[in-house]
Chains A and B, each alone.
Chain A
């Protein structure tokens, strides 16, 4: 055994990333780009447009994977941010008032910022102090948030449009220059957003706060005993996740032309969990695959198996989760993130 030296002396530079790690990163990104490019094999504009929607689902799934897969914070209410982003943009662009309505490209950052502030406020409430919530307690609170959001939007009268929601005429793109609202334009916009979100979250996960976040997932008490501010790290991840979900949700609902109470509720929150579980939580790439595969499967089967598609989808889900409990790409999680 080496003699004990001064553990604080000398700080040689970090060794360069091992070739294996670089290869894995490159392979993952290449696979993601391939997934994004896959719909281009078809000339069907409708399919291209549909995959644009799935790309936004994938961004939503990444946002959930960040806090659940990497932070151990199981959430039942993340649609409050996804649908909330849609509602905020809808209200900012359709309602009239002192400074309203505002153009979409102003409404979008405002909506994302508002979602981030809401996430920050919520995270102060649930993560701070000696009575900080974790595990099932946290999940129950997020469930309550989803229920509350659905009730509020239902009861919001002229502000939220009640159970009918809000219709939007807003078009994605720059009027007279480029339309990103349908077809290839929308596909390109959402595809770029998906790759950017993936790389951004991947960068966060590999950063120092990201490593602490993974430590919290594994052993929150030990992180606390080492002297880290657990609440601060959780807040960062939660705010980033909430903002990302709101961005995806805002674009999705503008594309749909409508946002209604179901978008912020428990069923939407549960659906995203299925995508994450199917693909493999804590793998980042897995939730992307889940969010592309399951909605595509659902859409395809519902068109052909009119009466039984839901049963078939259910059986497939049960089979995959039983045979591959870690998800389709769960094997990626068996190798520690570099």
Chain B
């Protein structure tokens, strides 16, 4: 069974069709790059998958559950994790407190447990161990992004959605992020990932398969080499497809 099954999902804003009958399946172990020009509908699709937006039509299946009408928190509890383009952390809390919020059971009726070991490992993973007592608001943009990734990882997601995770990062930070995601994939901590990106080099580093979106619809999919060779993709990227 697919980890994620998006079936003919459509979303319009007034007269603008942002996502147009998109169908997308993600299998276990897969990292899917989602690319396209600005306004192609990538982030809207991610918001639909996570429930920040409700589709006008179509269905979204997560494992064997139809999550099409579930709110984001319910999807998160089922095992979805979302990393936003602009780092979304808790600026007045410490790095460690941010991670604790990721690690704690989300139902307050469940025992809190003791996530210290998981937090220590996450701190090492995102290279923030020396800054564990620092306020998140004092971190650089790149470190805040890693903190968010660490926090979302501690929710133990089966499906990780990343919306332009390297936006605003230096090249070295982007490469480090790619390495981080590759390690997650190799270790099997996350069943599948969708990475929305403009940075083709980054996409090539983390993704096995790429889906190209254009004007809300899927234009092409396949390996990065295949889609780069696709004349329709070239035309879309060069602005000749109308």
Contact = CB atoms under 8 A, between A and B. Distances in A.
A233 B72 contact: no
A227 B92 contact: no
Contacts of B135: 336
Contacts of A6: 187, 189
Contacts, number: 123
A215 B90 CA distance: 6
The interface size bin for chain A is: 35 or more
Given A12-B114, A12-B116, A211-B100, A226 B106 contact: yes
B137 to A, nearest CB: 9
**Residue among B74, B91, B93, B154 with max Cβ neighbours from chain A (10 Å):** B93
Interface stretch (B3-11, B21-29, B119-127): B119-127
Given A208-B112, A211-B100, A225 B125 contact: no
The interface size bin for chain B is: 35 or more
Interface in B93-148: 93-94, 97, 100-102, 104, 106-108, 112-118, 121-122, 124-125, 127, 133, 135
Contacts of A200: none
Nearest to A130: B71
B92 A229 contact: no
Contacts of B53: none
B179 interface: yes
B121 A5 contact: yes
B151 interface: yes
A60 to B, nearest CB: 25
Nearest to B137: A218
Nearest to A212: B101
Interface in A5-25: 5-15
B113 A225 contact: no
Nearest 7 A-B pairs (CB), nearest first? A227-B76, A227-B106, A218-B90, A4-B187, A2-B124, A227-B77, A4-B183
B92 A7 contact: no
B19 interface: no
Contacts of B155: 226-227
B169 interface: no
Interface string A248-272: 0000000000000000000000000
Contacts of A211: 93, 97, 100-101, 104
Contacts of A97: none
Contacts of B107: 229
B31 interface: no
B72 A225 contact: yes
A137 interface: no
B97 A230 contact: no
A176 interface: no
A15 to B, nearest CB: 7
Nearest to B88: A222
Contacts of A208: 104, 108, 112
A222 B121 CA distance: 22
Contact of B73 (A1, A14, A225): A225
A225 B88 contact: yes
